């Protein structure tokens, strides 16, 4: 069934393309070495704004003129051009040099990667049916292109002959580019013999299809579930907008006199966070939990078998590439590199987490007893009591009007690095909600353009993200978009944000600033093309300022009266990371343990893939309230994405961010000298050198989890 591959396959194949060429979308510079290699012929993609943008034919991106009908012609032209360039590199005469191999490969993938990146970015922002229906044909084009690349193992041999003997020179971009290109091409099977490459490509395609099917099963299970409530009183405790949503959901499903609870994100979390009815929370949580292993109505095929088969194929791919298992394959491409380095961090954290979790469980148990409820705290209690221990979101949102939050984030960039944002209303936009800002450095140098598209609308992808619309290497500089989905009641009402949404604005702008502040000549070494366990670090550092007392006292003002927050409100907001910090940490550690066990030691013979979770729970004596799936998105993060084995990333990156933040803002005071060192040593180099070498130059020592633990009040 072709529809099974629509959503995920296109994204996975695009990722393959971008990984092989180190996000060649970063490469837009004219290069005399390539003037005669696969140049576009006259008439190729004429009157196609998407292709114009991908090939730098215009100074300003024509974002108001790119339509879905342009996608397939542009992608076909881009694929053809990149294939020609790849073939030309492979035909180059020996002896190979760095310039005509690593650098040429970087240039070769530019058209297809940039066109693909634009398509996926605009599909998320536009998101109507016409754009979504393009996922399958785009995936087909990218699949053919990836297969074409794998038919050129000679590319790897050329790279091998140009590799520098001995250790890398720390700041040599040429050596770094050559080494990373070689490693990434190797990781995609180009070093295998013909039969192995064929098997590797076949496995990659099968993994993509299995992941799509797993994701489809979850989506169908989510969509088909409904819990109808006859009385509005059963929704007591939920916010008014949640009750209104339940009424709309019932009406859409044909139940005019009822309220419907579903397994959709908002409906599920409304209940788990706000309902005092413990039995109702248990019902919704259990229904959500049962989806993962195919134990709910609506799944196609055996979900447990899908999980087992995915693990089996990942192991097979890792072994083909010379790794002992999939876990080692993942670590080899991260910044943490070794299990021992990661384990040394985990060992420190787990002891502190257990002590904190015990205190928090005792407090929840006391509350249960006081309200006449029996038994130890369960997973369906976790979100509810976390909400009870936090700040009143409705009470403080009036201090976080969207434009003020945006301006405070801009002000932070200026305080830290002298970066300024100026409105650019004349630049083209894809929707009236999008705002453009020109970004300049302290010396007046133009850094690029940032678009903000933060308002929810029909068809737009959910969540929040940052996308690159034009790479930093393009002659006119980078263009990025920070997107989110904040609700608005009407065009006349101010948009008031929750504390979490405030952090979201800062987080996505942190990613955008990392792109803008990269100072690297080679395009594929600029942000965000870093190890995937390091790429979140800059955004997590910037996010930490959003609700910090020093910044709240300076910028949080009531949208009507201009009054500052009270000291007790500031203290509550600042304590967000410490609320149930022990349980939060233990839950994250349990997810890492499960992910690691599946991808390191196997358990492929088990008929029930959830048996390992039960075994780990018993072995590690996890309390009943802990559930790994709360972190892993009911296993979708493990089985509906390109790779599992990566759940350690959020902890590793957050530990680094907490340590870096402690250096930049010791004792709640911004140290401008350290902020500039952060930019110079950690942000500007991007992937020009090993991220951990950049870390060492910035911090002067290995990462220390003590600051991360202190944020959670798990250490003195």
Residues 319, 317: Cα–Cα separation, whole Å: 6
Nearest residue to 449 via CA among 466, 460, 441, 437: 437
Q: Give the strand order in the sheet containing 435-440.
A: 420-423, 435-440, 446-455, 479-486, 465-470
Whether 399 and 546 have beta carbons less than 8 Å apart is answered as: no
Whether 45 and 74 have beta carbons less than 8 Å apart is answered as: yes
Whether 270 and 245 have beta carbons less than 8 Å apart is answered as: yes
For residue 237, the 8-state DSSP code is T
Would the pLDDT of 25 be above 70? Answer: no
- pLDDT reported for residue 387: 84
3-state secondary structure (DSSP) of residue 256: coil
> Residues near 639 by Cβ (< 8 Å), separated by ≥ 6?
210, 211, 214, 306, 307, 310
Pairs from 322-325 (Cβ < 8 Å, separation ≥ 24): 325/599, 325/600, 325/601, 325/602
Whether 61 and 470 have beta carbons less than 8 Å apart is answered as: yes
In the chain, what is the straight-line distance between the N-terminal and C-terminal CA atoms, in Å? Answer: 57
Percentage of the chain surpassing pLDDT 70? Answer: 88
pLDDT in tens, 124-152: 999 788 998 998 899 889 988 988 888 88
* Phi, psi (deg, nearest 5) at residue 264: -60, 155
Instruction: Determine how β-strand 446-455 pairs with β-strand 479-486.
Output: parallel
Nearest residue to 378 via CA among 287, 290, 281, 288: 281
CATH 1.10.1370.40 boundaries in the chain: 397-535+557-569
- pLDDT reported for residue 282: 95
**Strand segments (E) across 243-332:** 259-261
- pLDDT reported for residue 378: 94
Give mean pLDDT, residues 174-197. 88
- pLDDT reported for residue 166: 56
More confident residue, 46 or 341: 341
* Phi, psi (deg, nearest 5) at residue 446: -75, 125
Give the predicted TM-score (pTM) of the model: 0.89
Exposed e or buried b for every residue in 240-262, given b needs 16+ CB within 10 A?
Answer: eebbebbbebbeeeebeebbbbb
Whether 195 and 320 have beta carbons less than 8 Å apart is answered as: no
CATH code, 397-535+557-569: 1.10.1370.40
pLDDT in tens, 615-665: 889 999 999 999 887 777 767 778 877 667 778 998 999 999 999 999 999
Would the pLDDT of 5 be above 50? Answer: no
Highest mean pLDDT of the ranges 7-16, 39-48, 444-453: 444-453
- pLDDT reported for residue 159: 83
pLDDT in tens, 521-566: 777 888 888 998 999 999 999 999 999 999 999 999 999 999 999 9
Q: What is the 3-state secondary structure (H, E, C) of 510-550?
A: HHHHHHHHCCCCCHHHCCCCCCCCCCCHHHHHHHCCCCCHH
Would the pLDDT of 489 be above 80? Answer: no
């Amino acid at each position: 069934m072709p529809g099974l591959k629509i959503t995920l396959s296109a994204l996975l194949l695009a990722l393959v393309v971008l990984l092989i060429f180190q996000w060649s979308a970063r490469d837009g510079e004219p290069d005399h070495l390539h003037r005669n290699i696969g140049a576009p012929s006259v008439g190729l993609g004429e009157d196609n704004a998407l292709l114009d943008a991908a090939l730098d034919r215009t100074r300003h991106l024509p974002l108001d003129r790119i339509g879905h009908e342009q996608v397939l012609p542009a992608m076909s032209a881009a694929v053809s051009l990149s294939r020609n360039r790849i073939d030309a590199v492979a035909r180059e005469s020996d002896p190979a040099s760095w310039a005509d191999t690593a650098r040429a490969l970087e240039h070769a993938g530019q058209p297809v990667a940039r066109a693909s990146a634009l398509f996926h970015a605009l599909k998320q922002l536009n998101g109507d049916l016409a754009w979504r229906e393009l996922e399958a044909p785009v995936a087909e084009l990218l699949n053919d292109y990836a297969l074409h690349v794998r038919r050129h193992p000679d590319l790897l041999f050329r790279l091998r002959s140009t590799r520098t003997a001995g250790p890398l020179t720390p700041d040599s971009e040429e050596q770094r580019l050559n080494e990373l290109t070689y490693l990434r091409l190797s990781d995609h099977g180009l070093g295998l013999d013909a039969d192995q490459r064929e098997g590797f490509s076949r496995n990659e395609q099968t993994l993509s299809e299995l992941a799509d099917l797993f994701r489809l099963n979850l989506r169908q299970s989510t969509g088909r579930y409904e819990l109808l409530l006859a009385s509005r009183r059963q929704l007591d405790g939920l916010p008014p907008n949640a009750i209104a949503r339940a009424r709309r959901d019932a009406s859409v499903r044909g139940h005019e006199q009822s309220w419907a609870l579903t397994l959709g994100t908002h409906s599920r979390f409304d209940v788990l966070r706000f309902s005092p009815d413990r039995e109702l929370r248990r019902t919704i949580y259990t229904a959500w939990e049962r989806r993962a292993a195919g134990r709910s109505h609506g799944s196609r095929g055996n979900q447990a078998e899908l999980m087992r088969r995915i693990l089996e194929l990942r192991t097979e791919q890792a072994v083909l590439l010379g790794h002992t298992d999939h876990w080692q394959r993942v670590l080899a491409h991260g910044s943490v590199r070794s299990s021992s380095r990661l384990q040394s961090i985990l060992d420190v954290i787990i002891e502190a987490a257990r002590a904190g979790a015990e205190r928090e469980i005792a407090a929840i148990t006391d509350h249960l007893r006081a309200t006449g409820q029996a038994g130890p705290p369960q997973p369906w209690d976790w979100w509810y009591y976390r909400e009870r221990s936090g700040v009143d979101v409705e009470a403080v949102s009036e201090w976080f009007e969207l434009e003020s939050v945006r301006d405070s984030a801009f002000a932070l960039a200026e305080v830290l690095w002298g970066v300024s944002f100026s409105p650019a209303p004349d630049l083209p936009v894809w929707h009236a909600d999008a705002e453009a800002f020109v970004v300049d450095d302290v010396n007046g140098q133009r850094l690029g353009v940032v678009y903000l598209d933060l308002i929810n609308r029909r068809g737009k992808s959910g969540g929040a993200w940052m996308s690159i619309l034009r790479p930093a290497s393009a002659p006119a500089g980078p263009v990025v978009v920070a997107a989110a989905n904040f609700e608005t009641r009407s065009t006349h009402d101010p948009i008031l944000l929750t504390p979490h949404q405030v952090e979201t604005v800062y987080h996505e702008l942190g990613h955008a600033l990392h792109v803008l502040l990269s100072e690297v000549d080679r395009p594929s070494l600029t942000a965000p093309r870093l190890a995937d366990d390091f790429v979140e670090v800059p955004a997590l550092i910037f996010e930490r300022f959003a609700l910090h007392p020093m910044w709240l006292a300076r910028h949080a003002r009531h949208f009507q009266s201009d009054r500052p927050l009270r000291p007790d409100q500031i203290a509550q907001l600042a304590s967000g990371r410490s609320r149930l910090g022990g349980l939060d940490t233990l839950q994250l550690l349990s997810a890492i343990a499960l992910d690691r066990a599946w991808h390191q030691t196997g358990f492929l013979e088990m008929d029930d893939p959830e048996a390992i979770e039960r075994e780990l729970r018993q072995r590690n004596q996890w309390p009943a309230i802990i559930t790994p799936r709360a972190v892993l998105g009911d296993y979708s993060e493990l089985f509906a994405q390109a790779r599992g084995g990566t759940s350690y990333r959020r902890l590793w990156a957050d530990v680094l961010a907490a340590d870096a933040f402690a250096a930049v803002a010791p004792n709640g005071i911004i140290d401008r000298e350290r902020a500039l060192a952060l930019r110079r040593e950690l942000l500007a180099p991007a992937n020009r050198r090993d991220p951990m070498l950049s870390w060492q130059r910035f911090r002067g020592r290995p990462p220390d989890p003590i600051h991360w633990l202190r944020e959670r009040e798990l250490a003195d």
